[in-house]
DNA sequence: ATGGAGTACAGACCTTTGCTGTCT
DNA sequence: CAGACAGCTTTGGTCTGTACTCCA
């Protein structure tokens, strides 16, 4: 099996590109900040106080130096001496301390990033991704709770009681029209008076409808529920007063602003305008229903409750507005621009301190529309399921001008998708739209509200994209949907799916594929040519690609405008050939045909030291970068080595045989890819060559991977049989060895137990409190403690001579070795048992201290040091 | 609002034949 | 004592896809 070759770059000792060094200092705050506190205890008082008094200044002032140190000088021993630079003295204190995060007040912002021309670091990206994921889950749970409250029968009762008589009549009408209720025997037409004139027109229809079988839905004027919903929305818009701000996305704000907001939220009395609307429990929710006022969000939640109260299946829909994971303007906190009250800036989680709100002290009626008036799209709304058609009707009770969007009106449903400059400014996004049903389950319905129901549409950049998880052989992936995973906890079980579910899942929630543009139809652009599968510009050819000799351009493309316009020939992709160097072809078992001329010449990529030296030498001599030729497949042929003669295997200059593909094995020979075959061949006295099947790269070296041997075909059977015998013997030897080792380990373990028991008898240590102490493992400490507790034990104090007497006490049986007995510098206590086998029972030493361990220590317990470790 | 051009970045790809100490 | 074997270390330049901004 070829050994593992790491493909990914892990670290680089070279300094990163200059751009990285030009990063704004504070961008590295998260990884560096925890280090500063370690130093506080042993740094001089000046730096200490300056750190605590003016952390921002200090961090800011040292930051440029700091980042250089961070990247160029990892040797922290030097850093300890740098007393002036508090933040560079990183891990000076040896003992463990609490990790502290000190974040710079002037936290990095998008603008800083752009000025410094640096992107967010990996860790910063991770922080945002995690924040986003956490926020999404919090919002989901919040909505699940609100949904449960919207199910409350008392809330329903409150809302039902408030309905005027007219609405009750409408409800009854709807029930009859839907066939849910039989019409009363009275001949009086079920039309309400407010539609007087229309009723005249509809009279014939109603006559007809009466001819329908009672108990059957009357669909003659469309789904009757739509009429009812429109009435309910009109009622709700009139009755519900928006008196508080709802949820919204603010973006990432500077830490200082966040801290102020949190402190304000914790310490000040709750103010909905500054801290957001708070409904602590169901009782408060009921009270809100009673008052018919609150945020737009609560308005939609109560509206959902009202619809449910009328016996209609309704879902509470929420378009989550989580903090994102990108670095666009939308993720950056933007304080209200014309704000005159600096205290309000960055202050509230609940409300944007809009000037019109803070300045206007007009009566509530005028103020009512002010909350969230800058949000052009709803965040919460209702989905009503028609009991007749099982289709979903989207209802926004408070915000949109077209509040009722039936399934058929895809454009109206797409109106819920935030778009436009106003939505941009208000940071309204669509990424996850979740509908919570009355049974407590929830399902994702984002697709319904995307324009043309096309993915990813506007969710792009705001929603966690599908993650490609590699599986199986290279190039195979499965798509991992993070949100799908999160939603699994909320979803309705497959067997409990309703007719509504089934219908929408086959229709409204089926995403459309984005319309592919016909590349041939549109005019050429650089982008279209870059991605085209049919045409290509010469400049887009990859390093390993070349044009077929004699390929004719199909047309020309003019790049640039005006004076900078430049004509370029456009070629067919079909005329592009994949090329490889002679060495690369060799690895595929092919060689260039005699007389083949390279289609392309490219600079040599030298990786190993030897190759690098060669390339440098050539570069020095010629003054030009040496090039290597690339050849197309049809310029190469299979390497067919000549058949072997007399059982002799041909070998290359390294004494082995290249066996990258099976065809490279010469006729008359066989590849036996078994380990340890070399020895067997030697034993048998047959000719062989080790088979090189690939290379392993690392440490600027290419190491051949050898898998077994190539032998003459007539020797193959002999070799395999002998190998089997050998392997069986080897296995037996290994089993015996393993058994021996197991027994040894047990023996050692039992001795250890005996020693521990003896130590306990001698010094105690059964006190659980003492055990819990930091040095409870240390028998000396325990002994000392015990003696302190019992001063009249033997009257001796805790001086060194006495300690030595304790050492001596151990010597009588399984005791500790005296200092100097073992001349190594091990910190651990070595206990000698009756069989004179040293056992390390405690070691606070690190590897470097272990390096001096004597030869008699067991390798399996004290790993042998590496050369690198010793070199340091 | 949209799309093209340009830029930056992360991750993937390509690379082609030791050295030394310890064990068996 | 010779030969086998384990362990070291895990590059770095270039390409490519993607995200993002700017600009028309």
Same domain, A693 and A726: yes
pLDDT number for residue A801:
36
Residue in this structure with the two tokens 């609405």, named with its chain if needed: A167
Q: Which nucleotide is nearest to A327 (CA to C1')?
A: C20
Nearest nucleotide to the CA of A116, by C1', is B8
CA A711 → C1' C10, Å?
Answer: 34
Alpha helices in A660-767 (DSSP H): 677-684, 713-763
Residues 317-356 of A with CB under 7 A from strand C: 326-329
Q: How confident is the model at residue A300 (pLDDT cuts 50, 70, 90)?
A: very high
Strand C bases contacted by the protein (CB, 7 Å): 4-5, 7-16, 19-22
Q: What is the model's pLDDT at position A523?
A: 62
pLDDT confidence tier of residue A557, bands split at 50, 70 and 90? confident
Q: Of A621, A639, A657, which residue sits at a domain end?
A: A639
Q: Is the CB of A543 under 7 A from strand C?
A: yes
A36 vs A100, A176, A498, A601, A792, CA distance in Å?
8, 74, 58, 53, 48
Using C1' positions and the CA of A863, the closest nucleotide is C7
pLDDT classification of A744: cutoffs 50, 70, 90? confident
Q: Is the CB of A533 under 7 A from strand C?
A: no
C-alpha distances out from residue A228 to A163, A231, A740, Å: 13, 5, 85
Please report the pLDDT score of residue A611 as a whole number: 81
**Beta strands A404-405 and A392-395, pairing class:** antiparallel
Determine the nucleotide nearest to A458 by Cα–C1' distance: B1
CA distances A717 to A668, A676, A710, Å, are 13, 16, 12
Residue A170 has pLDDT above 60, yes or no: yes
User: A703 falls in which pLDDT band (50, 70, 90)?
Assistant: confident
A513 within a domain of the structure (yes/no): no
A251 CB less than 7 Å from any atom of strand C: no
Rank A159-173, A739-753, A825-839 by mean pLDDT and report only the highest: A159-173
Question: What pLDDT shows up at residue A273?
Answer: 80
CB A128 within 8 A of CB A325: yes
CA/C1' separation A5–C10 (Å): 8
Which residues are within 8 A (CB) of A523 and not within 5 positions of it... i.e. 6 or more apart? none
**A825-858 per-position pLDDT tens digit:** 333 333 333 333 333 333 333 333 333 333 333 3
When pLDDT is averaged across residues A226-233 and rounded to a whole number, the result is 91
pLDDT value, residue A39: 30
Report CA torsion sign: A713, A715, A717, A722: negative
Q: What digits encode the pLDDT tens for the residues A24-81? A: 333 333 323 222 222 322 333 333 333 222 223 322 333 333 333 333 333 333 332 3
- A113 contact to strand C (CB, 7 A limit): no
Is the domain of A633 the same as that of A648? Answer: no
Indicate whether A517 belongs to any domain.
no
Q: Which residue has the tokens 């003295």?
A: A89
Cβ-based burial of A448 (10 A; exposed 0-12, middle 13-18, buried ≥19): buried
Number of compact structural domains in chain A: 5
- Measured from the CB, is A1 under 7 Å from any atom of strand C? no
Are both A274 and A415 inside the same structural domain?
yes
- Sheet of A627-632, strand order: A545-547, A576-581, A627-632, A600-603
C1' of C21 to CA of A115 (Å): 12
> Closest residue by Cα to the C1' atom of nucleotide B4?
A527
Q: Which of A182-196, A604-618, A686-700, A799-813 has the lowest mean pLDDT?
A: A799-813
Q: Is A678 within 7 A of strand C by CB distance? A: yes
Say what the pLDDT of residue A161 is. 93
Residue that has been written with the tokens 């609307």 in this structure: A277
A468 touches strand C (CB under 7 A): no
- A791 lies in a domain? no
* Same domain membership, residue A269 and residue A301: yes
Please tell me whether residues A704 and A574 are part of one structural domain: no
In the structure, how far is the CA atom of residue A117 from the C1' atom of nucleotide C18, in angstroms? Answer: 18
Does a structural domain hold residue A8? no
Instruction: Tell me the CA–C1' distance in angstroms for A144 and C13.
Output: 52
Summarize the confidence of residues A506-512 as an average pLDDT. Answer: 79
A348 and A228 inside one domain: yes
Structure tokens of A658? 């290249």
In contact, A755 and A816? CB cutoff 8 Å: no
Rounded to whole angstroms, the distance from the CA of residue A486 to the C1' of nucleotide B23 is 54
Q: Is the pLDDT of residue A494 over 50?
A: yes
What local confidence, expressed as pLDDT, does residue A714 receive?
93
In Å, how far from its chain's centre is CA A815? 53
Spanning CA of A471 to C1' of B11, the rounded length in angstroms is 17
| A862 CA → B23 C1’, Å | 18
- Residue A242 contacts residue A296 (beta carbons within 8 Å): yes
Domain housing A252? 128-183+217-486
Q: Give the pLDDT score at A160.
A: 93
Per-residue pLDDT reduced to its tens digit, A589-636: 899 999 999 888 888 888 887 788 788 888 888 877 788 888 998 999
Residue A282's pLDDT is what? 94
Q: Which residue has the closest alpha carbon to B21 C1'? A: A867
What is the share, in percent, of chain A residues with pLDDT greater than 70? 60
Q: Which residue is nearest to nucleotide C7 (CA to C1')?
A: A866
Of A591, A611, A639, the position where a domain reaches its end is: A639
* Domain endpoint, select from A639, A664, A686: A639
Highest mean pLDDT: which of A198-202, A707-711, A778-782? A707-711
Spacing of A104 CA from C19 C1' in Å? 27
Q: Which of A473, A554, A456 shows the shortest CA–CA distance to A513?
A: A456
Q: Are residues A478 and A596 in the same domain?
A: no
Mean pLDDT of the region A744-763? 90
pLDDT digits (tens, 9 = 90+) for A262-279: 898 888 888 888 888 899
Whether nucleic acid strand C comes within 7 Å of the CB of A527, the answer is: no
Residue A165: the pLDDT is 92
pLDDT for the residue A233: 93
C1' (B1) to CA (A122) span, angstroms: 32
| pLDDT greater than 50 at residue A19 | no
A399 in a structural domain = yes
Residue A867 Cβ < 7 Å to strand C: yes
**Same domain, residue pair A575 and A647:** no
Average pLDDT on A516-542 reads: 67
Q: In this structure, are A379 and A308 located in the same domain?
A: yes
Look up the protein residue whose alpha carbon has the minimum distance to the C1' of C11: A700
Q: Which nucleotide is nearest to A522 (CA to C1')?
A: B3
- Answer yes or no: is A407 within a domain: yes
CA/C1' separation A560–C23 (Å): 14
Q: Does residue A325 have a pLDDT over 90? A: no
Strand C–CB A700 distance below 7 A: yes
Percent residues over pLDDT 90 in chain A: 17
Question: Is A703's CB less than 7 Å from nucleic acid strand C?
Answer: yes
Which nt sits closest to A678, CA to C1'?
Answer: C4
Q: Which helix (H) or strand (E) holds A703?
A: strand A701-712
A246: CATH: 3.90.260.10
Does at least one atom of strand C sit less than 7 Å from the CB of A12? Answer: yes
Q: What is the pLDDT of residue A370?
A: 74
Q: Can you say whether the dihedral through the CA atoms of A149, A155, A156, A160 is positive or negative?
A: negative
Same domain for A290 and A426: yes
Protein CA A276 to sugar C1' C22 (Å): 37
Is A688 inside a domain boundary?
Answer: yes
- φ, ψ for residue A527, nearest 5 deg: -65, -45
Under 8 Å between Cβ of A29 and A124? no
pLDDT at A434: 94
Whether the beta carbon of A506 falls within 7 A of nucleic chain C: the reply is: no
| pLDDT confidence bin for A452, thresholds 50/70/90 | confident
| pLDDT at residue number A180 | 75
Beta pairing class for A669-672 and A477-480: unpaired
Q: Is A691 exposed, middle or buried (0-12, 13-18, 19+ CB in 10 A)?
A: buried
Q: Evaluate if residue A676 carries a pLDDT over 60.
A: yes
- The least confident of A76-85, A652-661, A680-689, A796-805 is A76-85
Per residue in A775-792, pLDDT tens?
444 444 444 555 555 444
pLDDT of the residue at A255:
78
Which is more confidently placed, A680 or A796?
Answer: A680
The separation, in Å, between residue A326 CA and nucleotide C19 C1' comes to: 9
Mean of pLDDT over chain A? 67
Q: Which residue is nearest to nucleotide C18 (CA to C1')?
A: A461
- Cβ of A647 near strand C (under 7 Å)? The reply is no
CA A7, C1' B10: Å apart? 14
A607 touches strand C (CB under 7 A): yes
Residues A529, A615 share a domain: yes
Amino acid A412 CA to nucleotide B8 C1' distance, rounded Å: 40
Q: A478 — phi, psi (to 5°)?
A: -120, 150
Q: Report how far residue A258's alpha carbon sits from residue A242's, in angstroms, rounded to the nearest whole number.
A: 27
Q: What confidence tens digit (pLDDT) does each residue in A726-741 have?
A: 888 877 877 887 787 7
Calculate the angstrom distance between C1' of B22 and CA of A690. 24
Distance, CA of A449 to CA of A377 (rounded, Å)? 12
Predicted confidence at residue A333, as pLDDT, reads 75
Q: What's the pLDDT score for residue A305?
A: 95
Residue A723 has pLDDT above 90, yes or no: no
Taking residues A205-215, what's their average pLDDT?
47
Quick check: is A165 in a domain? Answer: yes
Q: What is the dihedral of CA A263, A266, A270, A276, to 10 degrees?
A: 70
Is the predicted pLDDT of residue A697 greater than 50, yes or no? yes
Q: Is the CB of A222 under 7 A from strand C?
A: no
- Asked if residue A622 and residue A652 are part of one domain, the reply reads no
Q: How many helices (H) and strands (E) does chain A have?
A: 33, 25
A396-415 per-position pLDDT tens digit = 988 887 888 887 777 788 88
Provide, in whole angstroms, the distance separating residue A674's CA from nucleotide C7's C1'. Answer: 21
Return the higher-pLDDT residue of A78 and A658: A658
Q: Which structure tokens are listed for A266?
A: 């914790």
pLDDT range class, residue A694, cuts 50, 70, 90? confident
A111 C-beta less than 7 Å away from strand C: no
CB A649, CB A684: distance < 8 Å: no
Q: Which helix (H) or strand (E) holds A695?
A: strand A688-698
pLDDT band at A139 (very low <50, low <70, confident <90, very high): very high
Query: Which has the closest alpha carbon to A310: A503, A492, A162, A186?
Result: A162
Closest-approach nucleotide to residue A468, Cα vs C1': B11
CB < 7 A to strand C: residues 587-606, chain A: 603, 605
Residue A768: CB less than 7 A from any atom in strand C: no
- A362 exposed, middle or buried (CB, 10 Å; 0-12, 13-18, 19+)? exposed
Looking at residue A510, its pLDDT comes to 80
Q: Which nucleotides of B are covered by protein (CB under 7 A)?
A: 1-18, 21-23
- Average pLDDT, integer, range A299-306: 95
């Amino acid at each position: 099996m070829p050994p593992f070759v790491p493909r990914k770059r892990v670290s680089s000792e070279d300094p990163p590109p200059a751009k990285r060094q030009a990063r704004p200092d504070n961008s590295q705050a998260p990884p560096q900040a925890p280090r500063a506190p370690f130093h506080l205890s042993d740094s001089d008082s000046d730096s200490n106080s300056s750190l605590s008094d003016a952390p921002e200044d200090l961090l800011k002032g040292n930051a440029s130096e700091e980042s250089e140190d961070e990247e160029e000088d990892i040797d922290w021993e030097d850093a300890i001496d740098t007393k002036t630079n508090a933040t560079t003295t990183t891990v000076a204190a040896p003992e463990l301390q609490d990790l502290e995060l000190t974040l710079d007040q002037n936290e990095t912002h998008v603008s800083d990033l752009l000025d410094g021309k640096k992107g967010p670091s990996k860790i910063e990206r991770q922080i945002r991704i995690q924040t986003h994921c956490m926020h999404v889950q919090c919002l989901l749970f919040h909505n699940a709770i609100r949904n449960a409250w919207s199910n409350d029968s008392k809330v329903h009762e409150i809302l039902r009681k408030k309905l005027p008589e007219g609405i009750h009549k409408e409800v009854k009408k709807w029930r009859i029209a839907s066939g849910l209720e039989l019409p009363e025997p009275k001949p009086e037409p079920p039309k309400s008076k407010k539609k007087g004139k229309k009723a005249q027109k509809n009279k014939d229809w109603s006559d007809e409808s009466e001819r329908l079988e009672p108990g059957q839905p009357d669909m003659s004027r469309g789904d009757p529920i739509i009429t009812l919903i429109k009435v309910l929305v009109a009622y709700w818009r009139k009755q519900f007063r928006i008196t508080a701000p709802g949820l919204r996305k603010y973006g990432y704000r500077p830490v200082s602003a966040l801290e102020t907001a949190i402190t304000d939220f914790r310490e000040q009395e709750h103010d909905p305008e500054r801290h957001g609307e708070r409904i602590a429990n169901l009782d408060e929710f009921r009270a809100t229903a009673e008052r018919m006022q609150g945020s737009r969000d609560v308005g939609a939640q109560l509206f959902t409750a009202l619809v449910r109260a009328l016996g209609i299946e309704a879902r509470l829909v929420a378009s989550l507005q989580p903090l994102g994971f990108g670095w666009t303007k939308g993720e950056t906190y933007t304080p209200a621009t014309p704000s005159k009250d600096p205290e309000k800036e960055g202050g509230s989680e609940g409300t944007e301190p809009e000037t019109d709100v803070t300045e206007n002290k007009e009566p509530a009626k005028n103020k009512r529309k002010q909350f969230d008036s800058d949000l052009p799209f709803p965040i919460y709304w209702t989905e009503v399921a028609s009991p007749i058609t099982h289709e979903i009707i989207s209802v926004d009770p408070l915000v949109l001008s077209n509040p009722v969007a039936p399934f058929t009106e895809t454009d109206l449903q797409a109106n819920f998708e935030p778009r436009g400059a106003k939505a941009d400014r208000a940071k309204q996004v669509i990424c996850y739209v979740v509908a919570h049903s009355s049974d407590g389950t929830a399902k994702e319905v984002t697709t319904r509200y995307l324009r043309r129901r096309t993915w990813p549409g506007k969710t792009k950049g705001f929603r966690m994209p599908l993650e490609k998880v590699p599986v199986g052989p290279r190039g195979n992936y499965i798509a991992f949907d993070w949100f799908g995973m999160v939603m699994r906890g909320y979803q309705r079980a497959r067997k409990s799916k309703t007719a509504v579910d089934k219908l929408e899942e086959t229709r409204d929630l089926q995403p459309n594929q984005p319309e592919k543009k016909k590349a041939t139809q549109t005019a050429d652009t650089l982008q279209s040519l870059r991605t085209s599968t049919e045409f290509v510009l010469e400049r887009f050819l990859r390093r390993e690609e070349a044009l077929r000799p004699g390929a004719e351009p199909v047309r020309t493309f003019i790049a640039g405008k005006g004076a900078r316009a430049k004509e370029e020939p456009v070629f067919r992709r079909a005329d592009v050939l994949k090329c490889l160097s002679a060495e690369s072809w060799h690895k595929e078992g092919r060689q260039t045909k005699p007389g083949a001329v390279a289609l392309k010449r490219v600079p040599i990529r030298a990786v190993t030291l030897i190759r690098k030296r060669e390339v440098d030498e050539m570069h020095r001599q010629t003054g030009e970068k040496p090039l290597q030729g690339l050849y197309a497949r049809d310029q190469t042929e299979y390497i067919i080595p000549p058949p072997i003669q007399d059982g002799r295997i041909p070998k290359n200059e390294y004494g082995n045989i290249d066996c990258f593909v099976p065809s490279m094995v010469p006729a008359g020979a066989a590849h036996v890819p078994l380990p340890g075959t070399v020895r067997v061949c030697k034993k048998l006295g047959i000719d062989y060559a080790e088979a090189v099947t690939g290379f392993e790269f690392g440490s600027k070296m290419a190491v051949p991977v050898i898998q077994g041997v190539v032998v003459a075909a007539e020797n193959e059977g002999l070799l395999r049989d002998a190998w089997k015998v050998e392997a069986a013997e080897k296995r037996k030897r290994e089993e015996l060895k393993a058994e021996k080792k197991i027994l040894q380990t047990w023996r050692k373990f039992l001795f250890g137990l005996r020693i521990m028991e003896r130590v306990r008898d001698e010094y105690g240590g059964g006190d659980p409190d003492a055990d819990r102490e930091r040095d409870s493992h240390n028998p000396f400490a325990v002994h000392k403690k015990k003696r302190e507790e019992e001063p009249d034990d033997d009257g001796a104090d805790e001086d060194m001579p006495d300690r030595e007497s304790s050492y001596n006490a151990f010597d009588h049986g399984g005791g500790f070795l005296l200092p100097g007995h073992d001349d190594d510098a091990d910190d651990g206590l070595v206990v000698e048992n009756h069989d004179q086998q040293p056992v390390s029972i405690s070691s606070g030493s690190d590897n470097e201290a272990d390096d001096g361990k004597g030869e008699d220590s067991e390798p399996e317990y004290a790993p042998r040091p590496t050369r690198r470790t010793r070199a340091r």
